[in-house]
Amino acid sequence: MKIHSVLWFTSGKGLVGIVHATQDDGEQGYWIAPADGFNEVIDANLVAAHGARFPDAAGIAIFGLPQTEEHHGN
């Protein structure tokens, strides 16, 4: 798995991460999940591996177009 970008949100209830990643099978997308906040690398990988799928349109709105799409689209 390759993590491309991570965005963290904190509140009184804890930490939530949104991750843009490419899975080992080549699937690229966005995932969201709570995290414990002790280790950013581990947390990002756990969000990508076990998080809920986050809508692509919302991920693109937050992170911008993935680099591969920017180069092919322009």
How many Å apart are CA 74 and CA 52, to the nearest integer? 31
Give the pLDDT band (50/70/90) at residue 71: very low
Q: What is the pLDDT of residue 68?
A: 61
Instruction: Report percent pLDDT > 70 for the chain.
Output: 91
Q: Could you state, in order of their start, the residue ranges of all structural domains in the chain?
A: 2-73
Instruction: Report percent pLDDT > 90 for the chain.
Output: 82
How many Å apart are CA 13 and CA 26, to the nearest integer? 33
Model-level pTM?
0.85
* Of 66 and 50, the one with more pLDDT: 50
Q: What residues contact 46, with CB distance under 8 A and at least 6 apart?
A: 33, 35
* Of 6 and 72, the one with more pLDDT: 6
